[in-house]
Structure 1
Amino acid sequence: MNSRALAAHILAQVIGEGRSLTAALESTLPEIPAEQDRAFVQALCFGVLRGYERLDCVLRQLATRPIKDFEIRMLALLGLYQLEHTRVKPHAAVSETVAAAGRRSWAKPLLNAVLRNYQRRREELLAAAGKNESAALGHPDWLIARIRADWPEQAAAIMADANQTPPMTLRVNRRQGTREDYLEKLARAGLNARPGRHASDAVILENPVAVERLPGFESGEVSVQDEAAQLAAGLLDLQSGQRVLDVCAAPGGKTLHMLESCPDADVTALDIAPDRIARIRQNLQRAGLRAGLLTGDAATPGSWWDGRHYDRILLDAPCSATGVIRRHPDIKRLRKPEDIESLQSTQRRILEAVWPLLAPGGRLLYATCSILRAENEDNVADFVRRHPDARHEPVEADWGRSTGCGRQILTGEDGMDGFYYALLEK
């Protein structure tokens, strides 16, 4: 299969079957021997998903009847994306996309007609797409409405930033060296970078690279983590000897950061799936760190809790991930309006379940990578109202914005992902 056929196959899994882009890529990319081809396939998939609403609007104008074969429909979108957004020469974009149909000979004239017609009618088609709100803003209608309802003044900027390619941000392991030392190592390796603005261990690369090119990556000297996610460890105010529980911990970035920040803390990472626990274990081994690992459902601690209270709990709650769309553009296709209420119910159930595990005087940090108020401040405010032993501690910081209950970073603010944090003391 050529690169475009593989990209169409991956996109069909995401859009047609509801599989995550990460999972689809992980199962397909290893089959591609050349690194350059792997990068091309990945770039095509991300590009189509980022611009899906606009590309699909154009395709619906070009195809007189819906294209029922999902992979052929994906090839049409891939062809349009190449013509509009890449440096691929137009004749190659058309011919190679048509060739990717393989044995589906019936599809080749269709693809050729769609792409040639686009080249002739480009201005007209794009102008029509610009009048379609979903196509113009690059988000499904229901999500546009939710973002506008929650953030009326910032909505346009949020959606524009969500459609951009994010920076590659690293977290320097302070146990192995300073951020300044690592910036020098990057410079010697020919990689331009700058320090993060808010997180003391953050380094932002000028251009993304494969992790294999990062000095000391295999020995745990550095990890990939957005700057917003790096703020969690500092908010917990960890002290030596404290028992710490990281709830819903996979893939373990925040677990590692807590141990790097406070090596003498007794940290336990909990996640529901054995394969996700395996990811945490791999990351711990790479960094040479140790933590307790528990496989269990956070909503039912009776099946895994040993009865000893924790001084600190980080609850990185499962959420809509609407704050990280720029890193996971498939979220726009996979999330549905009804998911938000279901996720809110899950978040509240987990928060109720783990609160009794916190020692008096302890601190719980509630975190999501969502920008939706229902999953964030609404949950925390409701919890504090119903629990006299829970006190909301305002997060004083020069990042994000206070929401009354907690602090919200909106997508793209200071180059960061959208994140929410709220501190509760017992």
Structure 2
Amino acid sequence: MSSLPRKFKIIKAAAVAGMSPRTGGKTCTLAPDSLACSLWFAAQALVGVSGGKNLTEALAAVTDAPPAARAAAQDIAYGVLRRYGWAEFLLVRLLRTPLSHAGIEALLRAALYRLETRPDARHTVVDQAVQAAGELAGSPLKGLVNGVLRNYLRQRDMLLAAAACDEVAKNWHPRWWLQRLQRRWPAQWESIVAADNAPPPMTLRANGRRGTAASYLARLQAAGLTAHLLGKAGGSALRLERPVPVDALPGFFEGEVSVQDLGAQRAAELLAPTAGMRVLDACAAPGGKTSHLLERADLDLLALDADSTRAARITDNLRRLQLSAEVCVGDAAHPADWWDGRAFDAILADVPCSASGVVRRHPDIKALRRESDVRRFAREQATILDALWPLLRPAGRLLYATCSLFEEENKGQVDAFLYRHADARQLAEEYWLPCPENDGFYYALLEKQHAPENQGVQEGARETG
């Protein structure tokens, strides 16, 4: 397959030898409402993700982007990251050697994405990408970007046919991730991947203290918004036909509704605490499940999170919804630092995980996650479970929850816990696979049984024997 014309190869060699991979440190002078400006800021955000930041952090670092350019740059960055491996596959075939300029490589990925999603504006995309390249790296690399993108348009059919035969470029997931899905979900992995690669739905949770999902649906319709009820009859979930800003939702700031995935709403339904119970929501930020628990019953609830910034979001959510709970900054794995010694009737352990079930909302996870992270999360989850179990009173219930599709974090984790704790009994287990209506979740409801009266005597005999 042909690569770049000779003159572009020479420029490419100069770029490898002397161009810095940094993109920050200068102000964008491109027209604020231009595609070139949006591509420039999107490239900077993508460089941030390549450097290990999550997309939210990377976008926040682009502080001088005009509002219009910021919104468009976010859309482009999300699209590029959702198509994990696709643009990289194409660039390997369009460039003789890898680019050393991170900003230009990111710009090319953004421009390739834009060319495919705006096919009626291809010449405009190329022109604007060339302008952005000049802003990023100066005139020499403008020719490189122009040559790569025009070569892509000339070879498009052949390149896309090749991409369709490559497992990663076709499915937009890391190879190790695909292999895990194929082993665990041989009949469902393709539908999981399709759901992962689609834009997420905007699902709402009606505040049960303020009205029903049906009554809120009527409010949406009166405001000209189309939605439908989700889940079981009498539930609180609705799905909007099209996402809208939260300030377009009737009564949002008055606490009548929250944004929460249907699968995430299942946590409060499964734990099902009743009025007066003492409840712990461990790893609670940003507070969606905390507030749902409180909407269902008056509880003595402690919302815990190790990150003080994220814990502040719990407080903000509670204030908006006019709910009350104790919010504490602390590590669920180290109760001695925050627990007052009073046992809990129910515990929600929504533990840190690979987040492989919510990747359509956070496509940067595809780029940031490594296979070794799954084992790391599994170790952390086991530590948290073992630390929280003594805090639960006999006959109390603990709901173990992840937004992962990987077995080490789900059934494997729970089976190992049940083996370690003879006083634990599993009451329920649910897998929620990603689909058009919901993200991916795993739930296991555990009950703490009363210890046999002679257990301590038997354990003492074993120790002295």
TM-score range, shorter chain: over 0.9
- Residues 217-296 of structure 1 aligned to structure 2 (within 5 Å): 217-262=252-297, 264-296=298-330
Partner of 2:117: 85
Distance 1:106 1:424 in 2: 63
Output the amino acid matched with 2:434: T
- Residues 137-216 of structure 1 aligned to structure 2 (within 5 Å): 137-198=171-232, 200-216=235-251
Question: Contact conserved, 1:321 with 1:369, CA < 8 A, in 2?
Answer: yes
Answer yes or no: is 1:104 the counterpart of 2:126: no
How far off its partner does 1:104 sit?
2.2
Distance 1:86 1:14 in 2: 24
Helix, strand or coil: the match of 2:209? coil
Helix, strand or coil: the match of 2:357? helix
Distance 1:33 1:25 in 2: 12
TM-score (ref. length: structure 1):
0.94
Aligned CA-pair RMSD: 1.3
Range with greater deviation from structure 2 (152-161 or 81-90): 81-90
Task: Pick the structure with greater CA Rg.
Answer: 2
Query: Deviations 1:272-314 (Å, cap 9, x if unpaired)?
Result: 0111111111111111111101111111101110000000000
Answer yes or no: is 1:58 the counterpart of 2:90: yes
Partner of 1:423: 445
Helix, strand or coil: the match of 1:203? strand
Query: Deviations 1:3-55 (Å, cap 9, x if unpaired)?
Result: 1110100011012x111112222343x64443x43331111011101113111
Question: Contact conserved, 1:277 with 1:295, CA < 8 A, in 2?
Answer: yes
Helix, strand or coil: the match of 1:270? strand
How far off its partner does 1:392 sit?
0.5
Partner of 2:433: 410
Are the structure 2 counterparts of residues 88 and 39 from structure 1 closer, same or farther at C-alpha, using a change threshold of 3 Å? farther
Are the structure 2 counterparts of residues 19 and 126 from structure 1 closer, same or farther at C-alpha, using a change threshold of 3 Å? same
Distance 1:238 1:152 in 2: 36
Distance 1:367 1:334 in 2: 22
Partner of 2:346: 312
Answer yes or no: is 1:75 the counterpart of 2:75: no
Tell me which of 71, 75, 82 is aligned to 1:39. Answer: 71
How far off its partner does 1:331 sit?
0.7
Partner of 2:33: none
Distance 2:118 2:285 in 1: 34
How far off its partner does 1:87 sit?
5.6
Question: Contact conserved, 2:41 with 2:65, CA < 8 A, in 1?
Answer: no
Partner of 1:353: 387
Distance 2:178 2:334 in 1: 35
Distance 1:148 1:98 in 2: 41
Distance 1:105 1:33 in 2: 24
Distance 1:32 1:241 in 2: 49
Distance 1:249 1:97 in 2: 42
Question: Contact conserved, 2:84 with 2:366, CA < 8 A, in 1?
Answer: no
Distance 2:340 2:300 in 1: 14
Distance 1:33 1:76 in 2: 22
Helix, strand or coil: the match of 1:324? coil
Query: Deviations 1:92-139 (Å, cap 9, x if unpaired)?
Result: 111111111215222110110011111111000111111111111111
Helix, strand or coil: the match of 2:284? coil
Residue correspondences, number: 410
Give the gaps of 5 or more residues in structure 1. Answer: 395-405
Question: Contact conserved, 1:319 with 1:370, CA < 8 A, in 2?
Answer: yes
Tell me which of 1, 9, 21 is aligned to 2:44. Answer: 9
Give the gaps of 5 or more residues in structure 2. Answer: 1-27, 29-36, 449-465
Helix, strand or coil: the match of 1:415? coil
Range with greater deviation from structure 2 (159-168 or 248-257): 159-168
Query: Deviations 1:166-214 (Å, cap 9, x if unpaired)?
Result: 1111111111122112111111211110111248111100001111111
Distance 1:311 1:26 in 2: 40
Question: Contact conserved, 1:82 with 1:88, CA < 8 A, in 2?
Answer: no
How far off its partner does 1:88 sit?
6.0
Partner of 1:397: none
Question: Contact conserved, 1:216 with 1:222, CA < 8 A, in 2?
Answer: yes
Query: Deviations 1:212-265 (Å, cap 9, x if unpaired)?
Result: 111111111111110000011111121111000000000000001011111x11
Partner of 1:119: 153
Output the amino acid matched with 1:331: I
Helix, strand or coil: the match of 2:444? strand
Distance 1:350 1:14 in 2: 29
TM-score (ref. length: structure 2):
0.86
Query: Deviations 1:321-363 (Å, cap 9, x if unpaired)?
Result: 0000111111111100111111000000000000000011100
Output the amino acid matched with 1:314: L
Output the amino acid matched with 2:262: E
Distance 2:118 2:274 in 1: 50
